[in-house]
């Protein structure tokens, strides 16, 4: 099982991320036995990513300095064969975000893009109202656009929402389950993107590893909702991630 | 009831805030059904605030870049009639903070200023020892200075402490209750300021909406203290905010 | 007892720190009755540190701007006799971190350096693989290098791990106990460094005050593990810090 494989291999995930969720992301990665490192200065990101197993670029609180760092780290990761995950937070909300994402997509090869429907729309230049966006209900357009983006970028595209979609441009899989309360706390999507980075590194069937990650993350939500109070729910997610990565033996069918 | 109105209308609150409390603020806004967005780069704050319902400027971990962003976002918000809340964290502690606050007050029209007694003193050039400051006990000076600031800035001034004071320069209301443990965790004042931004937008009687917000926040503290352990108390506040925004029906007398 | 002395004296600890753990650090300091202030801009750090009881420099998410701030604040603190604590997070991971630490050690007098074995190795130019580093098991080299660093920098050096080592260059003490789960959440080491800053200020026997702090922090871990779920454990640490600083009377044998 993928979380157990992560605990066994303890990949180091270098996150250039936003300060709103950095703590939650670090603790979430630690909860499944991965090792987080946050470093975002142009002076050191190339060296830092070189010792990492995966790189996460999350534009949640983007600025000029971290944009530069993302480009440096992403290119270095590409040169060294280290997988890069993009989380294009609010990509359609401002020109600065949209242009940064376009530049990142043009100059860096991503292994995985993890987004919601509005962010997908921004990346494929589809009309969409970014504010209050949700993944919708699996219209044919969502599949078509995700596949198109995956083909164009030669990567796996994950679009999360009430149902999650994963595609490598050919295969398409839908994941159901989870719980809507995941959208009522900050950082659950951001954490999932970081976990995707860890999951990508621990086997040689990325599509299956990531599909299993999405399925497990929905199970985590289903377990965590047993602790429904909104503050405690946040920690229940960490508790369940921890539990899932420890149950049973670590033999992994992937 | 104001929190229920917020849950119904889901205002988007753009926060230019400090990294110490950003997560707590985001989860606190989400807990009452508001929608937070943190973005602090000069490249995008004008565009981001344009799609927001309210703007919060919090100088807790101010730097040159975010100072510029605050000015840009504040002016844009003014131009578009979007209410702006100022949280002048530690305004009297350093010259940089005091000058920034003076510039913000000179160039931006705030709908609400939410501060403590020491920060009020810094804004009205009253002698005060910023360190270890507390709101005192409602001396006549506190009322006089808050009223004067409200008149000068044409805004609502809220001074929180053991008792909270709210004034629009004419009306003055005191709110009692709450619990002293609110001062023993970081970010409760910062979160209140963000909630004031949300509360301001959901009706047309701002003074009453904000007075009710202060009263409810004290109720939240009184409920949360049933979970007295200091770590858990932090989450109990989120739990209670959530509960208060959901109880009963959403008919709002304001 | 040292935590009770901190609660009694309420030292203000100025932290120039990383955004991953800033909230946890602030709440941890508050939990024992200390007063945190985070401020990291060159425009204000000299003024801010001047009103503080102690200064913490933590390079966890270092950048050019905060490097400059650390130098300014550290020198000001030295000039005013305010103790400075260094937390050289990941010192050996990148050239930027290593060079920054070397510059800080050359230009600032630290009262305390709190590190792990890998960071110690980076400061003493010993070969070490920074990634996945742990404090080892008290080999003679660890003692020799910590003593050497303490002598060279005229300060107290604390190396934490399964066992903690404290030395002033002559005396050496080992502290045992604690719980390995402290390494499974982010920020426990960072928080300890901040608490060391507070502990240093509340007496005139720094070595004993810090040794007692290390011993108590291990007790905190032993108590907190009664709440083993990883998310809740994080808050249990805050709960226990709070409890330890309140038990019994505040008479302090130090």
**Dihedral sign of CA atoms C115, C57, B65, B88 in order:** positive
Helices (H), chain B: 2-9, 22-31, 45-50, 64-80, 95-107, 117-123, 140-153, 188-201, 206-224, 230-246
Report whether B36 contacts A186 (CB < 8 A): yes
Six-digit token string for C219 = 């007790």
Print the domain residue range for C31: 2-246
Chain C environment of B224 (Cβ under 8 Å): none
Q: A174: Cβ–Cβ under 8 A, 6 or more apart, which residues?
A: A138, A163, A164, A165
Cα–Cα distance for residue pair B157/B86, rounded to 1 Å:
10
- Tracing tokens 């009770």 back to the chain, one arrives at C4
Chain A environment of B19 (Cβ under 8 Å): 19
For residue A252, is it within any domain? Answer: no
For residue B69, is it within any domain? Answer: yes
**Of B192, B147, B148, B193, nearest in space to B167 by CA:** B147
CATH number, domain with residue A144: 3.40.1190.20
Task: Please indicate whether, in this complex, the C-beta atoms of C51 and B131 are within 8 angstroms of each other.
Answer: yes
Q: Mind telling me how many Å the CA of C39 is from chain B's nearest CA?
A: 5
Q: Mind telling me how many Å the CA of A172 is from chain C's nearest CA?
A: 34
Q: How much is the pLDDT for A225?
A: 97
Q: Is 90 exceeded by the pLDDT of residue A14?
A: yes
Q: Is 60 exceeded by the pLDDT of residue C69?
A: yes
A176 marked as part of a ligand binding site: no
Q: Mean pLDDT, to the nearest integer, of A64-76?
A: 98
C-alpha angle B197/B202/B204, rounded to 5°?
A: 105
Cα–Cα distance for residue pair C85/C197, rounded to 1 Å:
6
Question: Which chain A residue has the Cα nearest residue B66?
Answer: A63
Q: How much is the pLDDT for C251?
A: 46
Q: What is the pLDDT of residues A170-182, one digit of tens each?
A: 999 999 999 999 9
Find the chain A residues whose C-beta atoms sit closer than 8 A to any C-beta of C: 10, 12, 19, 22-23, 26-27, 30-31, 35-41, 43-44, 47-48, 51, 65, 234-239, 241-243
Q: What is the pLDDT of residues C7-47, one digit of tens each?
A: 999 999 999 999 999 999 999 999 999 999 999 999 999 99
Task: Please indicate whether, in this complex, the C-beta atoms of B95 and C51 are within 8 angstroms of each other.
Answer: no
Q: Is 90 exceeded by the pLDDT of residue A135?
A: no
Q: What is the pLDDT of residues B55-113, one digit of tens each?
A: 999 999 999 999 999 999 999 999 999 999 999 999 999 999 999 999 999 999 999 99
Which of the residue ranges A215-229, B133-147, C70-84, C146-160 would you say has the lowest mean pLDDT? B133-147
Q: What is the pLDDT of residues C138-181, one digit of tens each?
A: 455 899 999 999 999 999 999 999 999 999 999 999 999 999 99
Residue A95: CB atoms within 10 Å? 11
Percent composition of chain B: helix, strand, coil (DSSP 3-state, to 5): 50, 15, 35
**Of A141, A17, A128, A148, nearest in space to A70 by CA:** A17
Chain C environment of A48 (Cβ under 8 Å): 93-94
Look at chain C and report how many structural domains it folds into.
1
Q: Mean pLDDT, to the nearest integer, of B2-17?
A: 97
For residue A254, is it within any domain? Answer: no
Report whether C143 contacts C120 (CB < 8 A): no
Q: Is 80 exceeded by the pLDDT of residue C60?
A: yes
Q: What's the complex ipTM?
A: 0.94
Q: How much is the pLDDT for A130?
A: 56
C38 marked as part of a ligand binding site: yes
Q: Would you place residue B141 in the very low, low, confident or very high pLDDT band (cuts 50, 70, 90)?
A: confident
C14 forms beta bridges with: C37, C55
Q: Would you place residue B126 in the very low, low, confident or very high pLDDT band (cuts 50, 70, 90)?
A: confident
Cα–Cα distance for residue pair C86/C135, rounded to 1 Å:
17
Q: Is 50 exceeded by the pLDDT of residue B136?
A: no
**What's chain B's average pLDDT?**
93
Neighbours of chain C (3+ CB pairs under 8 A): A, B
Cα–Cα distance for residue pair C89/C93, rounded to 1 Å:
9
Task: Please indicate whether, in this complex, the C-beta atoms of B63 and C41 are within 8 angstroms of each other.
Answer: yes
Six-digit token string for B32 = 């009452």
Q: Would you place residue B35 in the very low, low, confident or very high pLDDT band (cuts 50, 70, 90)?
A: very high
% chain A with pLDDT above 70: 93
Task: Please indicate whether, in this complex, the C-beta atoms of A236 and C231 are within 8 angstroms of each other.
Answer: yes
**Of B173, B98, B91, nearest in space to B133 by CA:** B91
**What's chain A's average pLDDT?**
93
**Of A202, A162, A254, nearest in space to A32 by CA:** A202
Which of B63, B96, B186 is closest, CB to CB, to C26? B186
Task: Please indicate whether, in this complex, the C-beta atoms of B186 and C43 are within 8 angstroms of each other.
Answer: no
Q: Is 80 exceeded by the pLDDT of residue C221?
A: yes
**Of C58, C91, C61, C55, nearest in space to C75 by CA:** C55
Q: How much is the pLDDT for A95?
A: 97
Q: Mind telling me how many Å the CA of B32 is from chain C's nearest CA?
A: 21
Q: Would you place residue B137 in the very low, low, confident or very high pLDDT band (cuts 50, 70, 90)?
A: very low
Chain B environment of C236 (Cβ under 8 Å): 231
Mark B168-192 as b/e (b = at least 16 C-beta within 10 Å).
bbeebbebeebbebbbbbbbbbbbb
Q: Is 80 exceeded by the pLDDT of residue C109?
A: yes
Report whether B104 contacts B57 (CB < 8 A): yes
Which of A30, A38, A41 is closest, CB to CB, to C96? A41
For residue C254, is it within any domain? Answer: no
Q: How much is the pLDDT for A138?
A: 44
Q: Is 80 exceeded by the pLDDT of residue C129?
A: no
Cα–Cα distance for residue pair B176/B157, rounded to 1 Å:
17
Which of the residue ranges C109-118, C127-136, C151-160 would you say has the lowest mean pLDDT? C127-136
Which of B19, B93, B185 is closest, CB to CB, to C48? B93
Cα–Cα distance for residue pair B172/B192, rounded to 1 Å:
19
For residue B109, is it within any domain? Answer: yes
Chain A environment of B22 (Cβ under 8 Å): 19-20
- Tracing tokens 């550290």 back to the chain, one arrives at C74
% chain C with pLDDT above 70: 93
Q: What is the pLDDT of residues A182-223, one digit of tens each?
A: 999 999 999 999 999 999 999 999 999 999 999 999 999 999
Q: Is 70 exceeded by the pLDDT of residue A140?
A: no
Q: Is 70 exceeded by the pLDDT of residue A98?
A: yes
- Tracing tokens 């699996």 back to the chain, one arrives at A138
Which of C12, C36, C236 is closest, CB to CB, to B186? C36
Q: Mind telling me how many Å the CA of A37 is from chain C's nearest CA?
A: 9
A187 marked as part of a ligand binding site: yes
Distance of CA B173 to the CA centre of its chain: 17
Q: Is 60 exceeded by the pLDDT of residue B166?
A: yes
Who has greater pLDDT, B133 or B63?
A: B63
For residue C69, is it within any domain? Answer: yes
For residue B251, is it within any domain? Answer: no
C-alpha angle A3/A220/C19, rounded to 5°?
A: 80
Q: Would you place residue C133 in the very low, low, confident or very high pLDDT band (cuts 50, 70, 90)?
A: very low
Chain A environment of B246 (Cβ under 8 Å): none
Q: Mind telling me how many Å the CA of B10 is from chain A's nearest CA?
A: 9
Q: Mind telling me how many Å the CA of B232 is from chain A's nearest CA?
A: 8
Q: Would you place residue B253 in the very low, low, confident or very high pLDDT band (cuts 50, 70, 90)?
A: very low
Q: Mean pLDDT, to the nearest integer, of C208-220?
A: 98
Q: How much is the pLDDT for B250?
A: 46
Q: Is 90 exceeded by the pLDDT of residue A132?
A: no
Which of A22, A26, A238 is closest, CB to CB, to C231? A238
For residue B253, is it within any domain? Answer: no
Using DSSP, state whether A214 is helix, strand or coil: helix
Q: What is the pLDDT of residues A27-37, one digit of tens each?
A: 999 999 999 99
């Amino acid at each position: 099982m993928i979380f157990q494989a992560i605990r066994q291999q303890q990949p180091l995930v270098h996150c250039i991320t936003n300060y709103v969720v950095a703590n939650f992301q670090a603790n979430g990665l630690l909860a499944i036995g991965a090792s987080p490192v946050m470093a975002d200065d142009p002076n050191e990101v190339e060296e830092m990513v070189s010792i990492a197993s995966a790189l996460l670029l999350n534009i949640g609180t983007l600025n000029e300095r971290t944009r530069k760092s993302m480009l440096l780290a992403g290119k270095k990761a590409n040169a060294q064969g280290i997988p890069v995950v993009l989380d294009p937070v609010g990509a359609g909300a401002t020109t600065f975000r949209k242009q940064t994402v376009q530049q990142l997509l043009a100059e860096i090869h991503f292994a995985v893009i993890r987004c919601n429907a509005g962010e997908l729309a921004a990346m494929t230049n589809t009309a969409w109202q970014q504010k209050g966006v949700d993944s919708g209900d699996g219209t044919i357009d969502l599949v078509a656009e995700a596949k198109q983006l995956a083909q164009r970028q030669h990567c796996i595209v994950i679009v999360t929402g009430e149902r999650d979609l994963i595609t490598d441009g050919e295969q398409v899989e839908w994941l159901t389950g989870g719980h809507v309360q995941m959208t009522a706390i900050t950082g659950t999507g951001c954490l999932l993107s970081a976990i995707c980075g860890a999951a990508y590194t621990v086997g040689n069937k990325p599509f299956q590893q990531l599909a299993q990650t999405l399925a497990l993350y929905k199970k985590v939500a289903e377990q965590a909702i047993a602790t429904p109070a909104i503050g405690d729910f946040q920690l229940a997610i960490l508790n369940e991630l921890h539990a899932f990565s420890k149950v049973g033996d670590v033999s992994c069918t992937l």
